[in-house]
Each structure stands twice: as structure tokens, then as C-alpha cells.
Amino acid sequence: MASCLVLLALSVPPVGLLLALALLVRPRPVRIPLKGRHVLITGGSSGIGLALARSAAAEGARVSILARNAARLEEARDAIRRATGCDVSAFSADVRDADAVARAVEAAGPVDVLVCNHGVFVPQELEKQELEEVRFTVDVNLMGTFNLIKAALPAMKRRARDTGLPASIAIMSSQAGQVGVYGYTAYSASKFALRGLGEALQHEVIADNIHVSLIFPPDTETRALLKSIRGGQS
């Protein structure tokens, strides 16, 4: 095998070699079992996160949801219980606070499936937007995702090794993370950055049987979108 790779390196132009190596190491789609496994979902008190939590609970997963608003978390727990008959764990934390995130993740216990679904947006042309709003957007959407993954990853690796089952990190980007959108400069930048995070991270954790997914949803009927349409922030 080594001699074949040497011959390939000598006979193929650099760009072709990179493409060949990319095909060799590219992760393949893997189905992640949920029944009996721990799924932690951020932004789990409403919208997409709540829908994912309800679906995971219905499939027999042990579900934890994390969000800032404690009252909405309790409402979400009640909604999931009514819909599925299953109880879920709820943790209130601001994803910008790395220490608070670490405490919540430790309290929740080792995670098999981490869904980084939190996000905010403040629609505004960059020239008119305050830099504090830009920092807020980047800190929540990008740094909050770093905080969560950093907190959960060590135990995820151990659990995947001990169980022999594949684990998953799902990162919620956006269509605005693929195409720049007028008036969403800060939001688009933060969501484009998540793609770089996810693609690089996949190379780092694939050997640990952890699979990284990037999700690019379009506009979805959520509380955040309605606030955006009305001119507020999520």
C-alpha cells in the first residue's frame, strides 16, 4: 500500500493528489442509533431544537435540552412529555459562558449525540450595525459552538470507545452559511465559520468514531424568524 501511494505521489499532479487523498479520507454516511442513547440539544426550548428533542425522545433516546430561558425550558419539557410520554432533562445556560456550559454538560452526563442548534441573528446592514451586535452574534453562534464541543468531546470519545457505537456532533448552520444574504452580514459570517469548524473537526475526530454533520436549513417557521420579520432579534 505504501509503495502504491509513493507511485501515486510521483505520477499525479499536486491538485490531483489532493483530490485523490480527499476521496480516500472522506467520511462516509453513517446511521447513528438513538434508542437508549444520550442526545443533548442546544436551543432545545423552541423551534427546530424542540422538534428534534421531541423526535429523539419518541425514538427512545435519553434527551437533554439546553437553552438560556429557564421558563421556556420547562414549557418545552411539558410539551415533550405530553407528546411522547417521555421526560427530558433541562439545563439553563448561556452558550457564551464556557464555564456554565461545562457545568451543564457535566451535569447532563456523557453525550452520544450533540446537536449544536443554538443561534441568534440581528438583521442589519453592516454599516448601520453596532459592533456589539456583531460580537453578540459571533459569540453565540460560533464561540458558543466551540464551548459546547470543547465541553462534551472528551467524554464523547471515551463513551464511543467503550460502547463501540458511532457518536455524532451535528452543527446547525444556515442557508446564509452557504450564500451571503443582504442585511445578514454578521449572521452569515458566523454561519460560514461553522462550516470551517465542522469540516476541520471531522478530520480530528473521525478516528474516534465521532461523525460531524453540518446542517443548512432554509427559513423555518420559528419564534426567531417571526421576530426577524417584525424587526426584532431572536
Name the maximum alpha-carbon separation found in the chain: 63
Q: Which residue out of 45, 187, 228, 234 is catalytically annotated? A: 187
State the Rg of the chain over Cα.
Answer: 19
Q: Which residue out of 173, 188, 190, 234 is catalytically annotated? A: 173
Return the residue matching grid coordinates 425514538. Answer: 59
Neighbours of 232 (CB within 10 A): 11
Q: Which three cell numbers stand for residue 220?
A: 423555518
Sign of the C-alpha dihedral, residues 174, 179, 183, 186? positive
Residues 6+ positions from 101 with CB-CB distance below 8 Å: 66, 93, 95, 144, 147, 148, 151
Is 213 one of the catalytic residues?
no
Residues 6+ positions from 22 with CB-CB distance below 8 Å: none
Is 191 one of the catalytic residues?
yes
Phi-psi group of 172: left, alpha or beta (phi > 0 → left; psi -120 to 50 → alpha; rest → beta): beta
Is 184 one of the catalytic residues?
no
Q: Which residue out of 64, 168, 184, 191 is catalytically annotated? A: 191
Give the C-alpha separation, 222 to 233, whole Å. Answer: 12
Residues belonging to the chain: 234
The DSSP output letter for 141 is: I
Which residues have a catalytic role annotated? 173, 187, 191
